[in-house]
Chains A and B, each alone.
Chain A
């Protein structure tokens, strides 16, 4: 039992953290009324996915005993017992970070425009004002 816990929870703590972060972000995106808080949720969600990818490339036991290092090919080839981290997920996440930053930039620009238009960033209040404008015309 204890072995199971150690194996599935403590040794894989990075995955658990990413799942918890993902759920926090997801909750904020769905439940929060404030438009900026929704975006913060989106950001947390995306970051959690980056963490998940980076965790995938990790090797070693995770207890500080044997860690993977940078994947470098030496002049005389790779020596025995050389553990290296898979670089591909990191590269993918560089693209992912760029995409996330772009999404966030567009979203923030939208929030600014919404604030200029309605003077608030609470979703309920914006909807009320939209109703008022509709009735007025």
Chain B
């Protein structure tokens, strides 16, 4: 009999321990760092599968650190939403770790391997910690652990990455300070930091100005962390100049963990009742998301740097998720489209970034104008890119199609026909910029033929994770369409009091 109740803390503790082990082992043998990191993340991923099974069959896991009862001690809570996000972030961290093997030696140098993997493991620790914790202040600490490791890892690429990392640091620290201030306001009126306890104590204080201020600060603070439209300015540079493996993990696992934190604070701590009565912010979220979807796509069209284009495309996709959040109260689908897109976007963007970085790794190709004939030179990587791009555009039965279908259903049910038009328009823009690349890679032939670039396929450890994600884009899409995980989404919605239209 496995002590599954202890797994939430194990998943964090093992990771932190491993980070220190890597630093020590790295002094003896630099090659071992990668394998320790990979083994740890694989182990964490297996633990997260057990956690999900336990949560689905038995119920929410509560773990009290040091045996202190919740309102006083720190509590780790894993319910269906946590378990779902935990699996997503660990799966993508695992693929990013496999992917990092070759790219890190190439980009950062073998000398710095131990430091890199130590920071990488600390980043994973922070991301996992954000997902499993049930305590507001603990969330702050883990968010800061993940961010600090992230700043250092982005800067590891050197050159332009330094200023990108610095800007991210200033804005990220500001966002986290806002969140800390929000905790101060909540603590001053309730005297507790536990999320479940806050949920019980807050309803009597909803009219209190301090609670309303806290909501605004928490929303803006976490909004900066997940690069929601007007607060996204740090994001394109950071994604563009970061080392390959870090681009992958930051654009998927880290971004998803931040969005999870935002959803958790909005729906679990403040609840839907508070927002509908005192902070009618969902309408504004919908509009901002719509602007993000169009703005991100239009700016992406204008980019020649593939990674930067994908970064702007991420801004548009965060818009999709936030549109799902904004529409959640006015449809019976609730948060389902938003939660779907958390998984879907992680799969698609992970694959696209892996392909984009493989091009840079093999041929130093970051400018899409140089992609002529690439589809014939790097067939597997380009095929993965093609599948993910088609999925992004929304080819049925891919994950991108499922998200768009559910978002359109949600918008129609809410009677917001304008947002349906926005979804169609942004899809059109996505076709423009992805088709341009696909055309260059597969169709166009340079006159003379000699000017075509000569490169070989990327190494196995780099294209396999990308292909896995690309194939998953379609498999997961079919699973969504069959509807197997929908009861899981309904469980999350009913936990938040969503899914029933008043």
Binding site for B on A (CB under 8 A): 26, 29, 35, 38, 42, 45-46, 49, 52-53, 56, 88-89, 92, 95-96, 99, 102-103, 106-107, 109-111, 113-114, 117, 126-127, 130
Contact = CB atoms under 8 A, between A and B. Distances in A.
Nearest to A96: B180
Contact of A103 (B137, B140, B169): B169
Given A56-B184, A92-B137, A106-B152, A113 B162 contact: yes
Given A49-B181, A106-B151, A113-B155, A38 B170 contact: yes
13 contacts: A29-B170, A35-B166, A42-B170, A42-B173, A46-B173, A92-B137, A96-B180, A99-B144, A102-B148, A107-B170, A107-B173, A117-B159, A126-B163
A95 B141 contact: yes
A109 B153 CA distance: 13
B166 A114 contact: yes
A103 B166 contact: no
A42 B148 contact: no
Say what secondary structure dominates the interface of chain B: helix
A110 B170 CA distance: 11
Interface of B: 137, 140-141, 144, 148, 151-152, 155, 158-160, 162-163, 165-166, 169-170, 173-174, 177, 180-181, 184, 187-188
Q: Which 7 residue pairs of A and B lie closest in terms of their CB atoms, listed nearest first? A: A99-B144, A56-B188, A110-B166, A114-B162, A107-B169, A113-B162, A103-B173
Among B148, B151, B158, B162, the one with the most A-chain Cβ atoms within 10 Å of its Cβ is: B162
B162 A106 contact: no
B163 A103 contact: no
B152 A53 contact: no
Contacts of B188: 56
Given A92-B137, A103-B148, A130-B163, A117 B180 contact: no
Contacts of B169: 103, 106-107, 110
Given A53-B184, A107-B169, A117 B174 contact: no
Contacts of A99: 140-141, 144
Nearest to B137: A92
Contact of B137 (A46, A95, A109, A114): A95
Contacts of A92: 137
Nearest to B72: A88
A107 B166 contact: yes
B242 to A, nearest CB: 14
B159 A46 contact: no
Contacts of B166: 35, 107, 110-111, 114
A38 B167 CA distance: 10
B141 A110 contact: no
Nearest to A114: B162
Given A29-B174, A111-B166, A127-B163, 15 more contacts: A35-B166, A45-B174, A46-B173, A46-B177, A49-B177, A49-B184, A52-B184, A56-B187, A89-B184, A107-B173, A109-B152, A110-B165, A113-B155, A114-B162, A126-B163
Nearest to B149: A106
A14 to B, nearest CB: 13
Contacts of B162: 110, 113-114, 117
Nearest to A102: B148
Contact of B155 (A35, A53, A110, A130): A110
Contacts of A26: 174
A83 B139 CA distance: 31
Contacts of B181: 49, 52
A89 B193 CA distance: 11
A49 B166 CA distance: 22
Contacts of A42: 170, 173-174
Nearest to A42: B173
A76 to B, nearest CB: 24
A99 B358 CA distance: 35
B371 to A, nearest CB: 19
A29 B165 CA distance: 15
Contacts of B173: 42, 46, 103, 107
A126 B174 CA distance: 22
B180 A110 contact: no
Contacts of B158: 113, 117
